[in-house]
Amino acid sequence: MVKKYPEITHIFNEHMKGGDGTVEVIPSVVQGEYESDANVIARLILKPGCSLGMHEHIGEEEIITVLHGTAEYNDNGESSTVETGDVCICKSGGRHSIANASPSEDLELMAVIIQV
């Protein structure tokens, strides 16, 4: 199966997980198109000033790869700056948030959420 980019529905999620602004979600696949235990496989685009609010993962883990940009990542209360190429891992039971740290560039992420 091949999905052409113009055919992919973009989702605009305002205040995602209690964060600021609107996050553009570009799902690589949606339920029914694959057979794995992945809940989410998607690119996320956060404009300057946008964030994903602090949230917890129970029974699943999330792996975020920074495709482009700079972000402030909060991993269970510990903040750090992440940049293009960095990977953030939130295991089941963990809490995290991420915010675009640039005043002028979009933050682009690849997020994978897998049931454990």
71 pLDDT more than 90: yes
Confidence of residue 31 (pLDDT cuts 50, 70, 90): confident
Residue corresponding to tokens 């973009």: 10
d(CA 12, CA 44): 10
How many residues in total does the chain contain? 116
In a domain, 94, yes or no: yes
Residue 30 — very low, low, confident or very high, per pLDDT cuts 50/70/90?
confident
* 29 in any annotated domain: yes
What is the separation of C-alpha 64 from the centre of its chain, rounded to a whole number of angstroms? 6
Q: For the chain, how many structural domains are there in total?
A: 1
Q: Is residue 4 part of a domain?
A: no
What is the CATH classification number for the domain harbouring 14? 2.60.120.10
Q: What's the whole-number mean pLDDT along residues 53-76?
A: 98
User: Structural domain of residue 104, as residue ranges?
Assistant: 9-115
| Tens-place pLDDT, residues 58-67 | 999 999 999 9
Query: Is residue 68 domain-resident?
Result: yes
How high is the pLDDT of residue 32? 83
Question: Tell me, what's the pLDDT at 56?
Answer: 97
Query: β-strand 51-56 against 38-46: which pairing, if any?
Result: unpaired
Task: Please check whether residue 102 is in contact with residue 87, taking contact to mean a CB–CB distance below 8 angstroms.
Answer: no
